[in-house]
Structure 1
Amino acid sequence: MRNPRVILALVAIALLSACGAQTAMNAPPEVVSRAAYVHGGPTAITLYTMVNNRSGSGAHSSIMINASQRVIFDPAGSVRHKAMPERDDVLFGITPAIADFYARAHARETYHVVIQRVEVPPEVAERALQLAISNGAVSQAQCALSITRILSQLPGFEPIRSTWFPNKLSESFAQLPGVTTERLYEYDDDDKEVALEAFDAEELVTQNQ
């Protein structure tokens, strides 16, 4: 018979590896306000799931919310940049270039990104935005759990089940009517700092053109 304590310990280790131990850094309100970006596309919620290419296990979850402004709720996330100021795990200023950078920073030789998007009524998107902003910073290993707690409060998201596991959240999200799914594979260096440095270099070139 397996030792229950050993099983619990293994589960704890797996969960701790799922989301990084990133400490939330709160940008000043005026910086967040200046960064606010309004995207002209349909109001929508996009779920990102970072999946290990070797094991197939889910490593991290986050959501992009397009409402009165577009943000990414990235609970206990590890991709941070001055171009997207953060308050309590909410990243602001998500322009098309930033959204592309965010996804590509996670897709590398060891992980790919599952991107699931569903359009929602404006009031639902706005409710999701306010819930994300008021949620507060999330402890490590609780990325999927914190997202399910937000989504389960939204009308139309009844299929979402509470879970600690990113892949399980992705499976629930896939049951929503109208969901579109794509997978982003890239084979960059496993070090996310390389992606950050590349983005800085691209920004510098753009500014000097």
Structure 2
Amino acid sequence: MVRLLAVLSLIVSLAGCGGADNIWASDQTVADAVYRHDGPPTLTLFTVISKASGSGAHSALMVNGSQRVIFDPAGTFHHPNLPERHDVIYGMTDPAVDFYIDYHARVTYDVVRQDIVVSPQVAEMAKRAVEQYGAVPKAHCGQSVSAILRSLPGFGSVPQSYYPKKIMNAFGDLPGVRAQTFQDDDPHKGGEIRTQGI
């Protein structure tokens, strides 16, 4: 019975939004990790989709403004070279983003990436919003991401929702959104952490 409960707990934590945390990296660690992608100011919505049910399992929001960060609310992703403060992960270089996607994509889940170019002002508003949101409790990933999007100019059509796929569909209806789907046949993730290049 104990083994069954442990397995079920692991499945839930990997498949959906994990529990709230109080991780708070030091100022120096965050400063050392600052990275800004040289592309335009962009918001990127990541949605993890169950292959079995087609439903959304997780939402996250990446912001490329004065620096590139990912708001991974109640997520299970962690990397020793990427400092975190209350679900905001810093230092998101291209290899780090690739690792984030690979961590979530597996035989049972696909990852949908949707990018939209925004003004520098909107990107900075989004960065401030994710940094001020605080740690997100279990199963509130969609609610927190949609709340942040709805607070930004031009994103009022995104519904306030707990359902990642509903948010994804509304985000995809915005003009100028580019989408990619990532698939992987790996049955499990999280056991091996790649540090080189991140």
Could you tell me the TM-score, scaled by structure 1's length?
0.84
Give the match for residue 128 of structure 2. 130
Residue 162 of structure 1 corresponds to 160
2:45 is matched with which residue?
47
Q: Report sequence identity in percent.
A: 41
Match of 2:142 in 1: 144
Distance 1:103 1:50 in 2: 9
In the TM superposition, residue 57 of structure 1 has moved relative to its aligned partner by 1.2
Higher mean alpha-carbon deviation, 182-191 vs 36-45, is at 182-191
SS in structure 2 of the partner of residue 186 of structure 1: coil
Query: Which residue of the partner structure matches residue 8 of structure 1?
Result: none
Task: Write the deviation string for residues 39-68 of structure 1: whole angstroms up to 9, x where unpaired.
Answer: 110100000000111111111000110000
Deviation at 1:162, TM superposition (A): 0.2
In the alignment, structure 2 segments of 5+ residues that lack a partner are 1-11
The answer to whether the 8 Å contact 1:24/1:76 transfers is: no
5+ long unaligned stretches in structure 1: 1-13
- Which residue of 20, 24, 27 maps to 2:25? 27
What amino acid is the match of 2:164?
Answer: P
Return the alpha-carbon distance in structure 2 between the equivalents of residues 154 and 22 of structure 1.
24
Write the distance in 1 (CA, Å) between the matches of 2:16 and 2:36: 31
Cα contact 2:19–2:136 (8 A) shared by 1: no
Match of 1:82, SS? coil
Equivalents in 1 of 2:161, 2:139: separation in Å? 11
Offset from partner CA, 1:80-137 (integer Å, 9 cap, x none): 0012110010000000110111111110111110111100000000000000001111
Query: How far did residue 191 of structure 1 move?
Result: 3.2
TM-score with structure 2 setting the length: 0.89
Matched residue, 2:67: 69
Count of residues in correspondence between the two structures: 185
Deviation string 1:143-196 (CA, Å, 9 cap, x unpaired) is: 0100111111111112111000101110111111100111000111323224x2
CA distance in 1, matches of 2:22, 2:96: 19
Separation of aligned partners in 1, 2:134 and 2:156: 23
C-alpha root-mean-square deviation of aligned residues, in Å? Answer: 1.6
Report which of the two structures shows the higher radius of gyration computed on alpha carbons.
1
- Name the aligned partner's letter for residue 189 of structure 2: D
